[in-house]
Structure 1
Amino acid sequence: MEALRCSAAFLAVDSAAAALVRRAPFFFPSGLSARRASSGVALRVAAARTTVAEAAGKRPPRGITKPRPISPELQALVGVKEIPRTQALKLIWAYIKENNLQDPENKKIIVCDEKLKKILGGRDRVGFLEISGLLNPHFQK
């Protein structure tokens, strides 16, 4: 087992080989638990990954965390011209809670006022899981 740990430690140095260490159960004999054998290795691999990330600097936001231009209707509610989807959803939820727009009997249902109707497709009532899907047309790509 000690030889196995040493060889895995050498693999952790190379970032391409670190992927092999993460798939460690394929390399261990059937009687040896991958969790027990790689417990020390996992810490070294994690430390190696953080130093590589620190050396490269903080990467720019991508996907739903990247600010995107939004429609005028959504701009009227959130007050900015560009915003990440995650932040827009947070602001919409803050608006819903501030104006007490949740159905008192079923908190999963949102009762839309005039501002929310413009954003959420003109619907009077919307399920809370539908909100993120109804925001898609308001974000330009």
Structure 2
Amino acid sequence: MTNATMAKKTTRKPNAAFMKPVTPDAALAPIVGSNPLPRTELTKKLWAYIKKHGLQDKKNKRNINADAALKVVFGGKAQVSMFDMTKLVSKHVK
């Protein structure tokens, strides 16, 4: 296989559903902003917020500890796993 064919196989087209802009609701807007943005950007901003505020659990990195703003998004839960987080955040976008 040549380098040209290898490069062609590894390039991926972004999923249209992930690129479609979503609008955060009032609970999520303080964390990621209120402007419509693709789900991929929303996830990046959410993780940037978590890392900036040191909310990733120190012992189990898969858990996210909620501050006051995230507690609203997480339905009042003090801690959620990163897998549950995506499900809970999706309830706050239109």
Same fold, TM exceeding 0.5?
yes
In the alignment, is residue 109 of structure 1 matched against residue 60 of structure 2? no
In the alignment, is residue 67 of structure 1 matched against residue 21 of structure 2? yes
Aligned partners of 2:24 and 2:33 also within 8 Å: no
Q: Taking CA–CA contacts closer than 8 Å with sequence separation of 6 or more, which of the two structures ends up with the larger relative contact order?
A: 2
How do 1:2-17 residues align onto structure 2 when only pairs under 5 Å count? none
Counterpart AA for 1:85? R
How do 1:38-77 residues align onto structure 2 when only pairs under 5 Å count? 43=5, 62-77=16-31
Give 1:125's aligned residue: 79
Counterpart AA for 1:103? D
Give 1:97's aligned residue: 51
Structure 2: stretches of 5+ with no match in the other structure: 9-14
Give 1:31's aligned residue: none
Number of equivalent positions: 84
Percent of aligned pairs with the same residue?
A: 33
In the alignment, is residue 79 of structure 1 matched against residue 33 of structure 2? yes
Cα-to-partner distance string for 1:73-119 (whole Å, 9 max, x where unaligned): 11121123211111111111111111111111111111100100111
Q: Secondary structure at the match of 2:64?
A: strand
Kindly indicate which of the two structures has a greater share of residues assigned to helix.
1
Q: Distance in 1 between matches of 2:35 and 2:58?
A: 33
Greater radius of gyration (CA)? 1
